[in-house]
Structure 1
């Protein structure tokens, strides 16, 4: 019998099912709707949550994650993914190594084939908090982030230490660490999606897609950045540009908005930018309307830009007190 608790995301209560929580699990509720689960129990299994609705059609065998070495394995469980997802499709087995960071869907967790000495550290949070669309989730869970990658080398030890210290940290420090973890996971998710877009395209499109993504990143502050300007710069039709992004499960506009929001959120936490108004930050990263910026920021992250800035600033002030 499973029970249901709640976690708070930007003032909204979100149900958390304890189905799949073994007696050996340690659970810590953090700010921003982040829950941390540490599990040593055998057999190893990932925390799961009931989807809000069932999907028609038969469910294929879930993906199997295989580990042959003892050690720590890091997982990021994404909530609020099920409403627009199709039924399961067969997925190949994936071999993991210690320190890997693996995103997964809490409504459709992978099956683990792990040694007895493995320890799982799982971070559960809403995909909205990371600025992800539902269509991003299948691509994000396709492959792990290894500790030898650029961001994996930074985040793997940080997340491991954070999971261990969260339970004993005083409130102010815990709040600041939770904000840092969510911010870094958002960056990791965006970077991992970009790597998937660059690395999984057929050879004829990979260089073009890479150039397009770099072009967008360099011009996020340009309010005139649009599918038309991007297509013209790369000597392709707007229709073909949309086709490239549609095959990646996203749109040009959605990607531009996600990148801009991520940059604005980052700047809003910098002490060097504390004198910049919300409107100035929005304009700096290509939002022509402060009202529109505040609306999409709240819809994506569950809180207003000013609340996000205040939360980050309070964590810094109280941690340093």
Structure 2
């Protein structure tokens, strides 16, 4: 039987079971399709607590002794292409991938490719933190990353220590991570992982291409803007500061998309207002109040912007839709 709970912490899932077969399904659903065997029989216990932060996921895993195997046939069944970072908090483990094998003690980190066959042997009553992220998030070429799979990285010194502390903090505070701040923290963690891996390579290997990095940053910035559209004070200075870049960099990033920052914000606000004007649930809300919900505080200015964008005023748009609903 699998016990599930979302608890009091929004978005945090806790699943637990006393059956190794159910545990294998839990792991396969969250990480990658695997086979799991254990000598513990009816005494087996396993629990996974986790949360998704955009396309990055963090899991706190506790279980009895077992072996995990991702064989060739299973390796072809991945839903998405991911890397996994493993932090051993307690107990010991052995990780194997390709021709490499490494022993993990408490505090150690290991990195592996979830698309390729691998195996894990884990001691009784272990605990580990798992970070799962899409391959395109890692600012390292696949060949360079592949040199480090199933190798031990010390989590007690150097950059590995920083990653270990970061992951532990994430796992302990999953309930408090949400919105843009949670996404940014997750992406920053992956960036720190990339830096640590590159350091382990002796600084070898070029970083991801500038266009790829710019695309990821643009997505991050747009996510921040989406969550802040309601704020009438939203401006380039605020956006740049929240994303740790200069205002000049912000404008450069948007210019490559053929639009300006202010124009993009204005367009998104108008789209949200148009959506609400078309929503019957908002029929009782005055046009000016509706616009103010999306940071457009001057009703007359909003009407001019709306008409310029859509060819009719907000009131005309709303009345036309009401008439069409009555006719339909």
Which of the five TM-score ranges fits, normalised by the shorter chain?
Answer: 0.3 to 0.5
TM, length-normalised to structure 1:
0.46
TM-score normalised by length of structure 2 = 0.45
Flag the structure with higher strand content. Answer: 2
